[in-house]
Amino acid sequence: MAEEGKPHFIGRITELFEGTDHVKYFNCRWFFRSEDTVISTAKLVDDHSHDPKRVFLSDERNDNPLDCIVSKVKILQVDPKLDLEAKAQLAADNDLYYDMSYTVPYSTFENITNDINEISGISSDADSEVDTSVATATLLDLYSGCGGMSTGLCLGAALAGLKLETRWAVDFNSHACKSLKSNHPKTEVRNEKADDFLSLLKEWAVLCDQYVHDNNAEAPPSMDEEEEEGELEKDEYVVQKLTDICYGGIDRKSCIYFKLLKKVYVQFIDSFLVFSDCPLKIKEFVQEGHMRKVLPLPGDVDVLCGGPPCQGISGLNRFRNRDDPLNDDKNRQLVTFMNIVSYLRPKFVLMENVVDILQFAEGYLGRYALSRLVAMNYQSRLGIMLAGCYGLPQFRMRTFLWGALTTMVLPKHPLPTHNVVIRGGAPNAFTVGNDQADDVMEYLVKPKTEFQRYIRLSRKEMLDYSFGDKTGPGEGTLMDHCPLRLNKDDYERVKRIPFEKGANFRDLEGVRVGPNNVAEFDPEIPRVYLESGNPLVPEYAIKFRSGKSLRPFGRLWWDETVPTVVTSANPHSQRILHPSQARVLTVRENARLQGFPDYYRLDGPIKERQVYELLC
């Protein structure tokens, strides 16, 4: 019996008994409505809904007096593999129906029974039989960056004997896309916004229906294709072939653009244009692209992973919208991510994000993401993992959301493997200066630790077959071992930070620690200035976090789990100085902290490579 004005609780009676106090009781296993679970939100979201007749069976049990029972309801258990519409039809003659269980402590929705006909080969259950004879499973990496998340998933799957290949990747950062392509040459990498990518997928499906699936459709020849090629005027061109397709883009209207290889006067030029004058060329391009699967159609993707940016909830954003976070454009990529999942219907979904999605506004964004998956009839599991507990030498806490079709086994979050991360992550045998220019060098010494031996393995030894049986460029050498170059003032400051554990700007001349552990200028010591005339200790270091922070110009140490690797290599507000050298960490050292193998080379200027959001 619930409070007045609220719906009654729903449960299955498992036992009736009389207590020693001669009062009759019943033991009940409780059902949860969607609004009773973690996916309940304070404000309704209009892009999805939950069937009010659908409930979830839990393992929550307790004893209650018999007179608490108000009425009897008829609840039907339905096959979880049916779609939601079929479930609702079966349950039409019943008060309620259930198809999944709900585990309160782990925010998990999953199939109740284990007798699933189509068991997936991709499962974290140790006792599950893995079918390694299946064809290569396909992966789409959204907001891919340079490919850390998908690379880690593929390497992990390979260790389990599974063939998982990143077939498609999408990111708006051009340097990140080049890095991913150089390490995964078989991947179709798209440098565009995720919203444009979704629009392109829908348009691509229309083109495939028109030119591939409709066998009776014929593209009429255009006048240009019928005419013999003659000498071109300066304002004329001949389309040789279509080489790519995109949707919209910067300073372009929202429609399809084809990339044309065209002969203009006496030269060949390729460019994106709105183009429909050569249907035979379009048909040829679509049929070839469909065969090569340049873009996924619904049902083509086995695993979809990604970390949609949610900058609107960042602690650095003073104008965060606590009342309606999804109304902030900076958080809308979470909606786009779920819309792509809804359209493509992959077998598995893995979303990674900052912990703030579970903390900000009572976890509004985390609840929304989980709610969308459940509304789409996905099994779902939400949890938090710390990178340091799995062998990475950094303290990185992230939220992970798994989704799996009801015909699959919902993966579990792995148990922690480490309590303490030992020394050996960074390539400390190499002395690198602030002006280090060479980003490829030979290893000077053999690996001294198990981690160093592992991180130096070749692609083939890592079971990474991105290049087939061939050796990738740069393998066997130390690449990207160069730091972000500090300006002259910062370099002078870094040289004066003691090479000892816990050192930071507070160790510079003219700083003292006052009451409540607050850093301040020492009035008894004259202000020290650099050769440029700027102060040795800048004002921003003293004022950062009200003078209580130890991070400005902080030096890391060998036996420490470092803070989260962030998107800035600037030492002004981060503890990123090398333990024994006067510089910040190099690109390679940061990559190692994220778990990237040494053979994974990054593209672009050093600054761009430093700021990648890496995850492996």
CA separation for the pair 364, 369 (Å, rounded): 9
The structure tokens 């690379």 sit at 151
Nearest-angstrom CA–CA distance, 544 and 570: 14
Residue identified by tokens 């209580």 is 548
Q: Are 600 and 569 in contact (CB under 8 A)?
A: no
Q: If residue 284 lies in a helix (H) or strand (E), which one and from where to where?
A: helix 279-292
Task: Give yes or no for a contact between 258 and 227, defined as CB atoms under 8 angstroms apart.
Answer: no
Measured CA to CA, the distance from residue 134 to residue 123 in angstroms comes to 14
How are the residues of the chain apportioned to helix, strand and coil, as percentages rounded to the nearest 5?
25, 25, 50
Distance CA 113, CA 80 (A): 9
**Pair of tokens at residue 117:** 């006909």
Residue 200: which H helix or E strand, with range? helix 194-208
Helix axes 333-344, 194-208, angle to 10 degrees: 20
Place of tokens 């700027």: 534
> Could you report how far apart the first and last alpha carbons of the chain are, in Å?
49
Is 310 among the residues known to form the active site?
A: yes
> In the structure encoding, which two tokens stand for residue 362, read together?
């009572």
Packing angle between helix 364-375 and helix 333-344, nearest 10 degrees?
A: 10
Kind of pairing between the strands at 519-521 and 397-405: unpaired
For residue 210, what is the DSSP state? I
The answer to whether 130 and 121 have CB atoms below 8 angstroms apart is: yes
Q: How far apart (Å, rounded) are the C-alpha atoms in residues 461 and 159? A: 11
Is 167 in contact with 188 (CB distance < 8 Å)? yes
Q: Are 134 and 121 a contacting pair, CB within 8 Å?
A: yes
Q: Which two tokens stand for residue 37?
A: 């679970």
Per-position DSSP letters for 515-564, written without gaps between them: GGG-EEE-TTSPPPB-TTSSBSS-HHHHHGGGGT-S-TTPBP-TTSPBPP
Collapse the DSSP code of 142 into the 3-class scheme (helix H, G, I; strand E, B; otherwise coil) and give the result.
Answer: strand
Closest CA to 506 of 467, 551, 568, 569: 551
Q: Which of 354, 350, 336 is nearest to 381 (CA)?
A: 350
Given 154, 177, 278, 310, the catalytic residue: 310
Question: What is the set of active-site residues?
Answer: 310
